[in-house]
Structure formats: C-alpha cells, structure tokens
Amino acid sequence: MSSFTVEADRFQTPTPDHLEAGRVVIAVVDGEITGVERAGTEAARALAEASADHRVLGDNQVLTPGFIDLHLHAPQWQQNGTALDLPLDEWLFTYTFPLEASFADRAVAEAVYPDLVATLLGHGTTTAAYLSSVHDEATAILAETCVAQGQRAFVGRVAMDHPTGTPDFYRDHDAVSGIDASRRSITDIAAIDAGRGLVRPIITPRFAPACTDEMLAGLGRLAEETGTLVQTHCSESDWEHNYAFERFGTSDTEALDAFGLLREHTLLAHANHVRPSDIDLIAERGAVIAHCPISNAYFANAVLPLPDALARGARVGLATDIGAGVRVGVFQQIHDAVTFSRIRQDGVDARKDPDARGVPDAAIDTVTGFWLATAGAAEAAGLPVGLLEPGRRFDAVVFDLDAPGGVIRHLALDDEARRFEKLVRLAGPHDIAEVWVDGVSVHRR
C-alpha cells in the first residue's frame, strides 16, 4: 500500500461557474483521495500527523487537477504545427493519410509514441483520448507506452473502409476485417492494461465519410455488445456537415445515432455545425462534444456554439486535436477556448454594424474553460478524476508560479481569482513542476 499526504494551495472548479481556491491537506491511499481538509484546522493537522509521508508545497506553488484531452491523433504528432493550409478533406488526403500509413512500420510507432506521451505529461495532460491508426501493432505500442509512462488514456484503433472516403494505401480491407480488428484491439488493450484501469480501449470509426454503412453499423453493434466507449468526428466543417445530409438524408448526429454509435459518453470531436435539435439528441444520449478550439479555427469554418451546448445539457470537454490543433497541452487550450468564444461574441467583420457582427452571450470565462478541461471533461468521459476530492483518483499538476523562465509576475498584488486567471492565461510547460497520475509521480521538472 502506498500512501502520502500533501498540503498545497488548490485551485479547482466543481461547476462551470465556480472557482474553489484555498490551502488544503489531501490524503492519498493507493492512488485514491481518501480525505481533504482545510489547512490550519484540527482535522488537517490530524491527517498530516497520521501520515508517514507528508509533503508541503510552497507559497508560490499551486496544485490543480490533471488536465484531460478528449481528442487527439497520436500518429499526427510529427506534423503538429504544420500543414494547416488546406481544407479538411484535402488535408486528410494530402498530408494526414500518408503520414498515418507510415505507422504500418512498428519502428515508426516506437520512435514517435514515447516522445508524444512524455511531452503531453510534461504539459499537464494526465488523461488523453487518443485516436491511433488502423494498425494493430502501432495501436498496441501506443497503449503500452501509456502504461509504461503512467498516463491515463483511451486508445482507439481507427476503423476506416470507405472506398472513396479513404485512399487505397490506407484503409481496412473491408468492413468485416475492420470490425474484427476493432474487436481484437479491445482485448489487446485490456490485456496491456492488465487490470490497472489506466488505459482503456475505445471503438473508433474515423468519421462517416471514411466508413461504409456496414462498418458504422457493425461498430455500433460491437459497442453495444462489449459496452466499450465510442469516439468519432461529427459535423466538424461545412463539408462534413453537408456530406451527411447528402449521403444519409439526416444530420451527422442523427446518422451516428441510427448506427448505434451515439451512446452514453460517446466522444464527438468538434460538432461545430450541430443544430439545436442535434445538441438535444446528444444531451439525451449522454454523449459528449470534444471542443477543439484551435483546430476549429483552421478546419471548422465556424466557432462551436459552446454556451448553447452547455445550456441544452450536452456534456462538453476540451481537446487539442493534435496534429490539427497546434498547441500541445490541453491546459494551454483553455485560454484559446476563452479567446475564440470572445471573437464569436463580438464577430469578425469590422465593416459590419456592431449589432449585426457577432453572437450575443457567446463568451465563456477562464473558470468555465478550466472546468471544461478538468471536472467537466472527467464527468463527460465517465472518469473518477477532474477534482481533488475524496473518492477521486489523484491525477494532479503542481505549478510553480515563479519558476525560472516563466512569465507570471506580481502575484503579491493579486487575490485568488486573479492568481487563477494569470495561471490559466500565462502558464506554460516550464511552470509545471510535477505531474501525478493515479497517485504516481509521472513527470518532474
């Protein structure tokens, strides 16, 4: 049994509009948080005194829940930061499918995945929902890497068989073999995790344009039969949104539902163009919008109507969408989500009248953004993390607010709300001193 206590200034957001700040003592036993007490109280002193391993963080250090990236493409890591000049459909065929195809060679996966996972941990990403490639071996290497480095993850072997929506050099041979490989990956990943509960499989039809009806229906049945989570892309761009109406006569969301893929905790990347009725269906099914602010700026042709999605009761979390997302840590995309929501509210065309330029009440603040990357995302994905409170697993990040090379200044002038805002807007990986997943220290600067 491993147990310790830690005293620290904690920031967390139990709801989209509530920041909780203050010094606490947290007790952790075998990765689970078993007690949290306000520092300075008798109960906190008792907790610390009973601990054989009590750690005290400094005044300019803060402890936050770990950050959850609800959607990213592991085999796109090498092109992150590049290749953003084409629209989505051309981007896939020109850059992305050829790159992902190179993961047929296990040596490529062995060279790329350990660096990706280590880099994400160093940015505070304690949980990642990965799309892998179509390859069994590379997918297993990704899952093994997450286990070896101690990152919580969903790992999805990508299924894609459509004869025109995929290139002949990178696709499943047919629906049957794609469904079989997806089924195999569920047992393979469960074996790699070996009961730790850290790395889980996730059924991953790439998106409707890349999958035949037979594939989509077969994966819907596989999800129902095995109870495995599902992830896919949904109504990302004008092109993808309109494609669904042309092919199915329904929206992308309704088509996914008809194929049995819109399930509780299904992760829908982007969903920028969903109609109000689609959001209601997503909410009814308990599915999730994985909001990818930077990727959307390049590929979505619009900004997600985020407050509307939340108001309608849909689950929403943040994601990077690496390699379309550019910025590596989902923590750093909190600020981007806030910024793009402000741009949506004000509008972009200065030649238009201010009243006709934007969308009223579209902006979110840093507290909501932080919630989307922690407690909101945890609830969305059905994971017992996202808050540092009893009963949750100890996934946490230690920030050093006066780290060398950092740009956070004048903290003595600030109250807790302003310290929080500075953290969210200004902190980078150089400010992260330590990262914990499941009670284990997985990264130290």
User: In the complex with ligand GUN, which residue's Cβ is closer, 39 or 306?
Assistant: 306
Is the bond preceding residue 323 a cis peptide, omega within 30 degrees? yes
For the bound state, the minimum distance from the C-beta of residue 239 to ligand GUN, rounded and expressed in Å, comes to 10
Compose the 241-270 pattern: x for residues touching Fe ion by CB under 5 A, - for all others.
----------------------------x-
Which one among 152, 171, 200, 206 touches ligand GUN, defined by CB under 6 A? 206
User: In the complex with ligand GUN, which residue's Cβ is closer, 222 or 269?
Assistant: 269
For the bound state, the minimum distance from the C-beta of residue 240 to ligand GUN, rounded and expressed in Å, comes to 7
Give the tokens for residue 81: 């930061």
Contacts of 220 (CB under 8 A, 6+ apart): 259, 260, 261
For the bound state, the minimum distance from the C-beta of residue 233 to ligand GUN, rounded and expressed in Å, comes to 4
Restricting to residues 95-124, name those near ligand GUN by CB under 6 A. Answer: 96
Q: What angle do CA 339, 340, 345 make, to 5 degrees?
A: 100
Which one among 161, 236, 252, 257 touches ligand GUN, defined by CB under 6 A? 236
Which one among 37, 321, 336, 434 touches Fe ion, defined by CB under 5 A? 321
CA gap 217, 384 in Å, rounded: 30
Give the tokens for residue 362: 């579209």
Compose the 269-288 pattern: x for residues touching Fe ion by CB under 5 A, - for all others.
x-------------------
Which one among 299, 340, 371, 436 touches ligand GUN, defined by CB under 6 A? 299
Residue among 166, 284, 263, 162 at smallest CA distance from 221:
263
For the bound state, the minimum distance from the C-beta of residue 436 to ligand GUN, rounded and expressed in Å, comes to 30
Compose the 72-91 pattern: x for residues touching ligand GUN by CB under 6 A, - for all others.
-x--------------x---
Residue among 357, 280, 369, 386 at smallest CA distance from 331:
369
Q: What's 393's DSSP letter?
A: B
CA gap 48, 26 in Å, rounded: 9
Question: Taking the alpha carbons of 374, 326, 151, 171 in that order, is the dihedral positive or negative?
Answer: positive
Number of residues that bind Fe ion (CB under 5 A): 2
Which one among 157, 233, 344, 393 touches ligand GUN, defined by CB under 6 A? 233
Residue 384 · residue 391 · CB < 8 Å: yes
Residue among 229, 339, 347 at smallest CA distance from 291:
339
Please list, residue by residue across 321-344, b when 16 or more beta carbons sit within 10 angstroms of its beta carbon and e when fewer do: bbbbbbbbbbbbbbbbbbbbbeeb
User: In the complex with ligand GUN, which residue's Cβ is closer, 183 or 206?
Assistant: 206
When CB distances are held under 5 to 8 angstroms depending on the partner's kind, the choice from ligand GUN, Fe ion, none that residue 299 binds is ligand GUN
Which one among 207, 243, 370, 371 touches ligand GUN, defined by CB under 6 A? 207
CA gap 337, 301 in Å, rounded: 16
The amino acid at 210: A
Which one among 321, 336, 395, 434 touches ligand GUN, defined by CB under 6 A? 321
Helix (H, G, I), strand (E, B) or coil at 119: helix
For the bound state, the minimum distance from the C-beta of residue 204 to Fe ion, rounded and expressed in Å, comes to 10
Residue 321 · residue 71 · CB < 8 Å: yes
When CB distances are held under 5 to 8 angstroms depending on the partner's kind, the choice from ligand GUN, Fe ion, none that residue 438 binds is none
Q: What angle do CA 103, 114, 187 make, to 5 degrees?
A: 65
CA gap 347, 352 in Å, rounded: 9
For the bound state, the minimum distance from the C-beta of residue 398 to ligand GUN, rounded and expressed in Å, comes to 32
Residue 395 · residue 127 · CB < 8 Å: yes
When CB distances are held under 5 to 8 angstroms depending on the partner's kind, the choice from Fe ion, ligand GUN, none that residue 206 binds is ligand GUN
Give the tokens for residue 29: 């036993």
When CB distances are held under 5 to 8 angstroms depending on the partner's kind, the choice from Fe ion, ligand GUN, none that residue 207 binds is ligand GUN
For the bound state, the minimum distance from the C-beta of residue 102 to ligand GUN, rounded and expressed in Å, comes to 15
Which residues of this chain interact with Fe ion, rule CB under 5 A? 269, 321
Which residues of this chain interact with ligand GUN, rule CB under 6 A? 73, 88, 92, 96, 206-207, 233, 236, 295, 299, 321, 324
